């Protein structure tokens, strides 16, 4: 049986749901999965594959996730890895997927960790979960409010990428 680590970073909880959906999708396929926040700094050793993801703030992945990937780059270069990004832009401006992908590309460049695939998913704008400054910026951007996460799309991507990570099912 395969064992997979799903590591994520989030500011509001949006990416937690995406990471948990990836974990559930894998678990439903018979994979043993640990879903852990990057702030908990889990060791990536002993896993057959690793998923790493983050929400985006001001065009960047969350610091703890970037730090975790950099600190564990040597191990992550030795196991199959998939990255995923949750970003409101994917819901509000789907034509900007290349821009959203570029947030992940910077991490790939700086760490040398090359994922087998990168999943891009819509996030949310749940104002009560954002700081006053973030709410103000989102309001100025006229960002629509709501939860735009598409869990069937997350599940489909997980199913599609699993064989690339050497995971049966």
The whole-number average pLDDT for the span 43-52 is 95
Higher pLDDT, 77 or 59: 77
165 domain-assigned: no
Angstrom distance (rounded) from CA 76 to CA 87: 24
Question: How, if at all, do strands 81-87 and 60-61 pair?
Answer: unpaired
- Is 17 part of any domain? yes
Residue 7 confidence (pLDDT) above 60: yes
92/70 Cα distance (integer angstroms): 30
Q: What is the pLDDT of residue 96?
A: 72
Question: Is 96 within a domain?
Answer: yes
pLDDT at 143: 66
Residue 168 reports pLDDT greater than 80? no
- What CATH number is attached to the domain comprising 88? 3.40.50.360
Q: In which domain, by residue range, is 21 found?
A: 3-156
Give the residue from 168, 139, 129, 156 showing the smallest Cα distance to 15: 129
The answer to whether residue 163 is domain-embedded is no
Give a yes or no: residue 10 inside a domain. yes
Binning pLDDT at 50, 70 and 90, where does residue 53 land? Answer: very high
Q: At what angle do helices 151-161 and 14-27 cross, to 10 degrees?
A: 50
Domain contains 162: no
| Closest to 14 (Cα-Cα) out of 67, 47, 56 | 56
SS3 sequence of 60-101:
EECHHHHHHHHHCHHHHCCCCEEEEEEECHHHHCHHHHHHHH
Q: What are 104-158's pLDDT values in tens digits? A: 998 999 999 999 999 998 875 666 666 666 656 655 666 666 677 888 999 999 9
Count of domains for the chain: 1
Residue 143 lies in a domain: yes
Q: What is the pLDDT of residues 65-115, one digit of tens each?
A: 999 999 999 999 999 999 999 886 666 667 777 777 888 998 999 999 999
Q: Is the pLDDT at 169 greater than 60, yes or no?
A: no
Decide if pLDDT at 54 tops 60.
yes
75 part of a folded domain: yes
């Amino acid at each position: 049986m395969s064992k997979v680590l799903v590591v994520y970073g989030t500011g509001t909880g949006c990416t937690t749901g995406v990471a948990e959906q990836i974990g559930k999708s894998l678990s439903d396929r018979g994979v043993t999965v640990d879903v852990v926040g990057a702030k908990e700094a889990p060791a990536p050793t002993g896993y057959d594959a690793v998923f790493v993801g983050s929400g985006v703030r001001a065009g960047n992945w969350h610091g703890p996730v970037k730090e975790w990937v950099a600190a564990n780059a040597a191990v992550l270069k030795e196991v199959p890895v998939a990255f995923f990004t949750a970003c409101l832009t994917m819901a509000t401006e789907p034509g900007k997927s290349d821009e959203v992908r570029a947030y992940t590309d910077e991490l790939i460049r700086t760490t040398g960790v090359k994922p087998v695939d990168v999943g891009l998913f819509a996030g949310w704008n749940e104002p009560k979960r954002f700081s006053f400054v973030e709410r103000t910026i989102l309001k100025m951007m006229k960002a629509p409010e709501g939860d735009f996460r598409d869990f069937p799309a997350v599940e489909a991507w997980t199913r599609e990428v699993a064989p690339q990570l050497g995971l049966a099912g």
